[in-house]
Amino acid sequence: MKKIRYGICSTASIVGRFIQGIHNSEYGEVVAISSRSIHKAQQAARQYKIDKAYGDYKEMLQDPDVDVVYIATPNANHYQDALLAILANKHVVLEKPFVLTKQQAQQLFIEAQNHRVFLMEAQKIVFLPITNHLKKLIQEKALGDLHYVNMTSSFPNRFDYDHWMYSLQYGGGALYGSTAYTTEYLMHLLNVLTMEYQAVQVKAPTGVDEFCQLQMVIDHQVVVSSCISMNVATKNVATFYFDEGYIEIENYWKARKMKIVQDGTEQIIEYPCECEFVYEVNHVNECIQQGLLTSPMMTKEMTIQTMDMVESIFRSWNPEVIREKECV
């Protein structure tokens, strides 16, 4: 099988883990990295042992050795950065949040289709073996019917108030930062696209939500509570409550194990791995090798529906903020 050659757009902290996933994958390799600063790009290239460094993203897109671009730039730049890659006929894996509006998401998938390139939101959670083991247990009703899901996630004190994650215009905040983990996890596990929802927030001094809570109802029978925090540490656990017990998964977005409690007994299921990104990268490589334009697992419908929900909540909280019309 032909190697899939990656160009990395960004030197953000998440990049190193994604690169490790590429290194651990069966057919992926990293051939280039780019940054707004050639110094940062060269530094990252040395750190990750990458041959080519670019101080200009557009220049990397002209590199014929790059097959697919992984984009992890600030949230507000996702649409334009992904569009440039698509117009350069590069396959694209675009970090969460995919973009800032439903219209932008729809437009990117249209452009990718027109240019015959693969496009997917970077969403590792749906590819984890633990996730798909849990999905099988839910489908088989191994513990009876599912009734309630409680999810908490946090990344406290990671950013100062002058960081773009605390900027409304740059798409900062807990809602844009992590809601995709909640919605797309549930969409995949329960085979649904729509859900009833309500949301509340606590704002930082900069105006972004640094704590948000989502309440959802799925298929009129499963209640979900999801808390996402930038300012306080939570347990970072997803707990699924069934007729006959519960399943608990710590750090569910990167989990290697889960605890099943049923009839007073505990069972631990484990899937050890060096880097959880490898499952997602293997899937991307297979899709590109097969000539697919979208993923059959992390579907464009899941991404578009999530963007519709996130944008709707954001607009209800911040009606004064106008997102620029960036679509072609």
CA dist., res. 79 & res. 138, Å (int) = 35
Question: What does the mean pLDDT of the chain come to?
Answer: 96
pLDDT, tens digit, for every residue of 233-262? 999 999 999 999 999 999 999 999 999 999
Which residue type is seen at 284? V
Q: What percent of the chain has pLDDT above 90?
A: 95
Residue with tokens 């960036």: 326
CA dist., res. 83 & res. 144, Å (int) = 45
CA dist., res. 241 & res. 224, Å (int) = 10
pLDDT, tens digit, for every residue of 135-159? 999 999 999 999 999 999 999 989 9
CA dist., res. 128 & res. 252, Å (int) = 9
Average pLDDT of the residues in 297-314: 98
- Tell me the residue length of the chain: 328
Q: What percent of the chain has pLDDT above 70?
A: 98
Q: What's the pLDDT at 1? A: 81
pLDDT, tens digit, for every residue of 29-63? 999 999 999 999 999 999 999 999 999 999 999 99
Give the distance between the most distant pair of CA atoms in the chain.
60
323 pLDDT band, cuts 50/70/90, is low
Strands 245-250, 196-203: pairing kind:
unpaired
CA dist., res. 217 & res. 231, Å (int) = 26
pLDDT, tens digit, for every residue of 58-81? 999 999 999 999 999 999 999 999
What six digits make up the tokens of 53? 């460094």
Helix (H) / strand (E) element for 113: namely: helix 102-115
Strands 146-154, 196-203: pairing kind:
unpaired
Q: What's the pLDDT at 324? A: 59
**Spatial CA neighbour of 204 closest among 76, 96, 318:** 318
Residue 325 pLDDT > 90: no
- Beta strands, E only, 144-273: 146-154, 196-203, 209-218, 222-229, 237-242, 245-250, 257-262, 265-270
Burial (CB count <10 Å: 0-12, 13-18, 19+), residue 146: buried
- Residue 306's φ and ψ, nearest 5 degrees, are -65, -45
Residue with tokens 């015959």: 116
Strands 209-218, 222-229: pairing kind:
antiparallel
**Spatial CA neighbour of 303 closest among 60, 58, 94:** 94
- Residues with Cβ within 8 Å of 110's Cβ and at least 6 positions away in sequence, in order, are none
Average pLDDT of the residues in 198-214: 97
CA dist., res. 228 & res. 156, Å (int) = 10
Residue 212 pLDDT > 60: yes
